[in-house]
Amino acid sequence: MPNEYQKIIVNMEKMGFEDSHDVSHISERLKRREKERQQLVVKRKEEREQSSASVEQVSYFLETFATKQREIEDILEKAASGNADRSELTHIFETANKDLQTLQHFVSTSTHFLRVYDIRKAQEAIQILQQKMQELEEKLLPKKKFGFKVRKSSTHEKGSFNQKIEDTVDSSNSPGKLPLSKVLSGLSDNICGYSSRVGETLSLSHDVIFKKDVVLSGLEGCTVELTGAPSTLHMSTLRNCRIMSGPVATSIFVDDCTNCTFILACQQLRVHNTKHCDFYLHVTSRAIIEDTTEVRFAPYNWKYENISQHFQLAGLDMNRNNWDLVDDFNWLASDKPSPNWHIMKEDEQNIEWA
């Protein structure tokens, strides 16, 4: 069946325009318009299909998240019932913790199609569950009083040691320092790191930090190198520091940091209450900032011996980096970019970290 523009040409020819220059000119215009129309039809069809797929993805995420959330709540309710002995309680909390980690990973891998609002609500729900689990575990399975001690590592690497974070702030909330109870909240006893140091060059090697929770707090004017694959990395109250880390298996949390440079690789980055900082980042989900201003992002570019092996041990894909995908929880306008973060220009990026 002839299309509209073919009908028009036939009618023009019947009217005696077959030898006219105008016929050829008009014919080309009509062909071009017909092609544009067909392209528009295809584009709109693809947009409808993508929109439908996106709605289905979000719907699936919300339903699955709600189901998993209820399952964890049921587990915690079982613990709170008082009908379980100590051995059973230990198993319950281990199960709940594992399920929470799985739920967090589910959120992290879904951020590319979720709205900022959906991400925020999911993170808030996970935080509530984590807090509830921690409170129940402290109540039902109280641990012995936490002891702080320094144990020298056998390595000869300068400044490298494995230590429990020193309780230098007690409960006084001294200016510029984060209460240790907040730093350690949610972490295991398998902790190493540095606290309350000024103007030092510090380092921890792979054999010290592998699968550990690393905590850096209250540092000023320090350079820290973490050449390995820790489980998590928590950094708080850092001033004028440079932090270089190998691949972190799960999450990195940054809180209350100013005028710092971070070279980080992880599955998820969460930045809170931070300003005037640069991030050289490798992240497999999307970075999240909140109450944060004047921060810049560039691709991760630190190299050291065995870093490829450490990426494999951390379960991170070296070829998948979403360093420039940042969600600002304080900027919900979808039609304008957040003014709180920027991509660093190439001529402003540092390429030498020695």
Range of the domain at 69: 1-143
Mean pLDDT of the chain: 78
Nearby residues of 235 by Cβ (< 8 Å), 6 or more positions away:
215, 216, 217, 243, 252, 253, 254, 255, 257, 262
> What b-and-e string marks burial along 125-134, b requiring 16 or more CB atoms within 10 Å of the CB?
bbeebbebbe
Are 126 and 166 in the same domain? no
In a domain, 353, yes or no: no
Q: Tell me: the pLDDT tens digits for 296-309?
A: 999 999 999 999 99
Polymer length of the chain: 354
Q: Tell me: the pLDDT tens digits for 103-117?
A: 877 877 777 677 777
Alpha-carbon distance of 99 to 249, in angstroms, equals 17
Q: How confident is the model at residue 91 (pLDDT cuts 50, 70, 90)?
A: confident
Are 22 and 69 in the same domain? yes
Domain C-terminal end among 125, 143, 161: 143
Which pLDDT value is given to residue 37?
77
Are 264 and 295 in the same domain? yes
Task: Please state the pTM of the whole predicted model.
Answer: 0.54
Q: How confident is the model at residue 21 (pLDDT cuts 50, 70, 90)?
A: low
Which pLDDT value is given to residue 326?
92
Share of the chain above pLDDT 70, in %: 74
Domain C-terminal end among 78, 109, 143: 143
In a domain, 232, yes or no: yes
Are 259 and 302 in the same domain? yes
Are 138 and 213 in the same domain? no
Are 200 and 60 in the same domain? no
Domain C-terminal end among 123, 143, 163: 143
In a domain, 47, yes or no: yes
Token pair for 244: 């270089």
CATH number of the domain enclosing 175: 2.160.20.70
Are 205 and 336 in the same domain? yes
Are 128 and 213 in the same domain? no
- How many domains does the chain divide into? 2
Sign, CA torsion 222/290/178/159: negative
CATH number of the domain enclosing 16: 1.20.58.1250
Are 213 and 319 in the same domain? yes
Which pLDDT value is given to residue 124?
83
Are 89 and 164 in the same domain? no
In a domain, 256, yes or no: yes
- Inform me whether the pLDDT recorded for 175 exceeds 60: no
